[in-house]
């Protein structure tokens, strides 16, 4: 497992097929699109993280763990959105930088501190993360996901097909 940033061109490409693919903020934003990469049934997947700063709403009214979401420290440090998992291919993501440099400003230091806390949680919960990813993948691909979750969960099989087109530099039809 890795904590990574994902290329916005790739997410834009996938969103043409599935509008549920999350929007990706460029790295110039304080909180760019970051997530965890792992393997699910032979495919590499990226599950985006939500920031604890998604408004004080998430901190004051934490989302409980469910099939699509894993809170990090009761949402105090965000969570992982499994419903927005997307397949990843080589060259579309890069490892998140957790090292604090002397030239980093205060906001960057706080952000990297948050990433370090999230990474610590991820590294201690690897098996749970893999199991949740497999569960939602199976429920979605086999048609057993409840309607309330289905409406907000990416179509993993369609995205796997489209990802291959991106890799080969082909245009979708």
Q: Indicate the pTM of the whole model.
A: 0.86
Domain range holding 47? 2-167
Nearest to 95 by CA among 119, 78, 111, 75: 119
Residue 172 belongs to a domain: no
Phi, psi for 164 (deg, rounded to 5):
-65, -35
The domain that holds 62 is classified in CATH as: 3.10.129.130
* pLDDT of the residue at 104: 87
How many domains does the chain fold into?
A: 1
Q: Render pLDDT for 106-137 as a digit per residue (tens, 0 to 9).
A: 988 888 898 999 999 999 999 999 999 999 99
Residue 120 belongs to a domain: yes
* pLDDT of the residue at 58: 59
Residue 173 belongs to a domain: no
Residue 99 belongs to a domain: yes
Residue 134 belongs to a domain: yes
């Amino acid at each position: 497992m890795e904590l990574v940033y994902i290329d916005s061109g790739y997410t834009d490409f996938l969103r043409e097929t599935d509008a549920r693919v999350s929007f990706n903020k460029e790295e110039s934003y304080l909180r760019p699109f970051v997530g965890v990469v792992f393997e699910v049934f032979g495919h590499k997947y990226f599950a985006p993280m939500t920031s604890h700063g998604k408004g004080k709403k998430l901190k004051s009214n934490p989302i409980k763990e469910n099939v699509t979401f894993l809170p990090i420290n009761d949402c105090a440090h965000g969570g992982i959105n499994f419903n927005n998992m997307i397949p990843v291919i080589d060259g579309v993501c890069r490892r998140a930088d957790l090292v604090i440099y002397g030239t980093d400003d205060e906001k960057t230091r706080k952000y990297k501190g948050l990433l370090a806390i999230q990474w610590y949680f991820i590294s201690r919960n690897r098996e749970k993360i893999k199991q949740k990813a497999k569960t939602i993948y199976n429920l979605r691909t086999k048609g057993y996901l409840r309607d309330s979750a289905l409406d907000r969960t990416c179509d993993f099989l369609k995205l796997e097909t489209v990802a291959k087109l991106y890799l080969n530099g082909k245009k979708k039809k």
